[in-house]
Amino acid sequence: MNLTDARLLRQQAYIDGQWLDADSGDTFDVTNPANGDTVATVARVGKAETQRAIEAANNALPAWRDMTAKARSLILKRWFALMQEHKEDLARILSAEQGKPLAESRGEVDYGASFIEWFAEEGKRIYGDVIPNDKPDRRLVVIKQPVGVVAAITPWNFPIAMITRKAGPALAAGCTMVLKPASETPLSALALAELAERAGVPAGVFNVVAGRAGDIGTELTHSETIRKLSFTGSTEIGRQLMEECAGTIKKVSMELGGNAPFIVFDDADLDAAVDGAIASKFRNSGQTCVCTNRILVHDAVYDAFSEKLVAAVNALKVAPAEEDGAQQGPLINQKAVEKVQAHIDNAVQHGASVLCGGKPHALGGSFFEPTVLGDVTPDMDVASEETFGPLAPLFRFTTEQQAIDMANDTPFGLAAYVYTQNIGRCWRMGEALEYGMVGINEGIISTEVAPFGGIKASGVGREGSHYGIEDYLEVKYLCMGIK
Ligand code: ADP
């Protein structure tokens, strides 16, 4: 890989400020999904190394917690600045292991860094409360303290941003962290650790262990030392980890799967709706948890909308990450390709029509044609399961209530999108949709300044914004007698 600073390509675990091989000497390969080439070979650590990382984080906790918020903030700001300075290298590492177009990777570095910057500031504004006393001879005060050692388990779809939006608030609040990144994309995590070290994050405050998910996960979830687990990934694994965390009554933050509806009313600006649908459906080749999964279109504008959407989808450039103008990279692996194909096949068997795409791309590997399906109905698999790929299924509706019912007919509740020019309807839909986030005439809604998170089976807790730091704080009540 062509990097300006080759030391960012780290391949060992980062524990207590040391770069270490696995005790066993085991390694695993990280491959480029665009061509299957081996990008790097990373230390595969296990239970013993994870235990040492937990101990290191615990040992580092008192000094980090007791620093002033401003002192922590200055270190985090240096980390932010280093991410910006090394943006191009970070983007190259990210694209090589994840496959997304370089332009998207650069965007993710900016987005990821923004959480470090935001929480560097927010950490200085963790205020307590003075409660008017209930009795004359005592005073009631609330202080907020870091929860302690935190474990983070992150996915491959945003190898940088899913880490920083946990590490940012955790470290700013005075917590220390053990991170297990996805095995598909450990290199971005290790590069972040390298920059954290250069920024002056003390040894033990931020540790990275990559390896077998089950081995590392079990140590993290069963540890008495770890007080909180923050997880982003599938609902299935999230549920399992919550169960594992029950034994030690850990706090949990869970960012899980979604099944986002994208609703286009007959009074919508159709061009804006198409732009929003492309952005929200096809970003990262459809591999984000807030990606549109179902497009619900009012019958009166169904034909006009589908025509415009198909034209826009056909214009998307499918290409390897480094190619100029690339908009759609490969999917993460063959399993992802099979899932998209299965959803298409199931829908077509039940009467849907392929309006464009529909099969693996001529580029080969895990590239897939951006696809639009027409006349999709709620009985098809794609209506109830998250595709996590470049497949846009079009459903019809006729009334507002029907759109609400269809949109809410899922166990998930992460993001929803509505396009309408009617102000009353904007409010009614905003309130009626059972989701943690609603984009109203907007297809890209994530930002570090707003709360990201879901309800129902989509998760617990919020990331980003001033709400995001609360997940890393305990509320303590001090009752003081003054007799
Ligand atoms: P995805 O389908 O997006 O890969 P997963 O939920 O399988 O989502 O993975 C998200 C993260 O959870 C990854 O870091 C993965 O390695 C990790 N993971 C998967 N299974 C387990 C497990 N049993 N224990 C702990 N972590 C796990």
Per-position pLDDT tens, the chain of length 483: 899 999 999 999 999 999 999 999 999 999 999 999 999 999 999 999 999 999 999 999 999 999 999 999 999 999 999 999 999 999 999 999 999 999 999 999 999 999 999 999 999 999 999 999 999 999 999 999 999 999 999 999 999 999 999 999 999 999 999 999 999 999 999 999 999 999 999 999 999 999 999 999 999 999 999 999 999 999 999 999 999 999 999 999 999 999 999 999 999 999 999 999 999 999 999 999 999 999 999 999 999 999 999 999 999 999 999 999 999 999 999 999 999 999 999 999 999 999 999 999 999 999 999 999 999 999 999 999 999 999 999 999 999 999 999 999 999 999 999 999 999 999 999 999 999 999 999 999 999 999 999 999 999 999 999 999 999 999 999 999 999
Give yes or no for residue 242 CB within 6 A of ligand 1: no
Q: 182: Cβ below 6 Å to ligand 1?
A: yes
Model pLDDT, residue 330: 96
The closest residue, in CA terms, to atom 22 on ligand 1 is: 214
Pocket of ligand 1 contains residue 217 by CB under 6 Å: yes
How far away, in angstroms, is 182 Cα from ligand 1 center?
Answer: 7
Q: Which residues are catalytic?
A: 255
Amino acid sitting at position 61: L
Contacts of 186 (CB under 8 A, 6+ apart): 30, 42, 97, 208, 210
Structure tokens at 164: 């920083």
Ligand 1 pocket, residue 214 CB under 6 Å: yes
Identify the pLDDT of residue 177: 99
**Ligand 1 pocket test, candidate residues 178, 218, 237, 291, most atoms within 8 A of CB:** 237
CB contact set of 330 (below 8 Å; sequence gap of 6+): 33, 34, 99, 285, 320, 363, 365, 366, 367, 368
pLDDT at 1: 84
In sequence order, the 6+-apart residues with CB closer than 8 A to the CB of 285 are 99, 100, 328, 329, 330, 331, 368, 389, 390
User: Is the distance from the beta carbon of residue 230 to the nearest atom of ligand 1 less than 6 Å?
Assistant: no
Q: Is 387 in the pocket of ligand 1 (CB under 6 A)?
A: no
Cβ neighbours around 129 below 10 Å, total: 11
Q: Is the CB of 389 under 6 A from ligand 1?
A: no
Structure tokens at 105: 């990777």
Atom of ligand 1 nearest to the CA of 218: 24
What is the atom index within ligand 1 of the atom nearest the CA of 236?
A: 6
Sequence letter at residue 442: E
CA of 130 to the centre of ligand 1 (A): 42
Find the 242 Cα to ligand 1 centroid distance in Å.
Answer: 13
Could you tell me the distance, in angstroms and rounded to a whole number, from the CA of residue 238 to the centre of ligand 1? 8
Which positions ≥6 away from 43 have C-beta within 8 Å? Answer: 11, 12, 13, 20, 21, 22, 26, 27, 210, 211
Q: How many CB atoms lie within 10 A of CB 143?
A: 14
> Model pTM greater than 0.80?
yes
Q: Give the separation between CA 44 and CA 26, rounded to whole angstroms.
A: 5
- Looking at the CA of residue 153, tell me the nearest atom of ligand 1: 14
Q: Is 234 in the pocket of ligand 1 (CB under 6 A)?
A: yes
The two three-digit tokens of residue 282, written as one number: 């096809």
Residue 213 CA to ligand 1 centre (angstroms): 6
